[in-house]
Amino acid sequence: MAVKISPSVLTSDFLELAKDIERLEKAGTDMLHLDVMDGIFVPNISFGVPIIKSIRKHTRLPLDVHLMITEPHRYIKDFAECSDILGFHYEAGSDNAETLKQIRSYGIKSCITIKPCTEPEEIFDLLPLCDMVLVMSVEPGFGGQKFMTSALDKLTVLRREIDRLGLDIMLEVDGGINKETAPLAVKAGADVLVAGSFVFSDQMEENVKLIKSLG
């Protein structure tokens, strides 16, 4: 399978972001991962629609928007206008099936995300409504955490079920991805890897190519 990389903008130097995006494009990056945090669902606050719209103006890369917010259904329309893939947390939603349908109604891809405490079987019934599933391999909210190996079993279970159902769903993993953990995640079934500090470093181009070579 072809492995895609989705660098996490949250770990970038925002004053250098335009230059970094240009470098990422030249290196063959597949999409950009944008973490939206509200300080309630997670204890951190990041950015919202205005920042994403600004990034949208400066790149043709698909924007992979990850909502870490409460009541995500209230904000789908606003974020759908500036996203290519829009995901929210299974644990934060009230009617997850309806929210996934709402995302697709705007002509973009839908994604459901699960925290480390959530078992993959809990979202099996939602898979037909998803274009991507995101497995968190750290607790959402802060970068720089250590990869949780429990995510590998979740990826394996989800990949098996996705294949059993014959669905065309990307399987994404986010948290602690580096040269040691990336091959493990791909072997477990992930085909989209979110990477933050591993990519936004002095070895940006080399590390993008390293992850993409795993497919």
pLDDT, tens digit, 9 for 90 and up, residues 141-195: 766 679 999 999 999 999 999 999 999 999 999 999 999 999 999 999 999 999 9
**Dist. CA 104–CA 168, nearest whole Å:** 15
Which tokens is 13 given?
Answer: 């130097």
Residue 36 banded pLDDT, cuts 50, 70, 90: very high
Give catalytic status of residue 35 as yes or no. yes
**Dist. CA 157–CA 166, nearest whole Å:** 14
Give catalytic status of residue 174 as yes or no. yes
Instruction: Tell me which residue has tokens 């996203």.
Output: 83
Helices (H), the chain: 17-27, 49-57, 76-80, 96-105, 150-165, 181-188, 204-212
**Dist. CA 104–CA 83, nearest whole Å:** 11
Amino acid at the residue 212: K
Position 48 scores a pLDDT of 96
Q: Is the pLDDT of residue 140 over 90?
A: no
- The one catalytic residue in 20, 30, 35, 38 is 35
Following CA atoms 121, 127, 131, 134 in sequence, which dihedral angle do they give, to the nearest 10 degrees? -10
- The one catalytic residue in 20, 30, 38, 174 is 174
Domains of the chain by start residue, with CATH: 4-212 (3.20.20.70)
Q: Residue 89, SS3?
A: strand
Q: Quote the percentage of the chain above a pLDDT of 90.
A: 95
Give the count of beta carbons closer than 10 Å to the beta carbon of residue 76. Answer: 22
Which pTM was predicted?
0.96
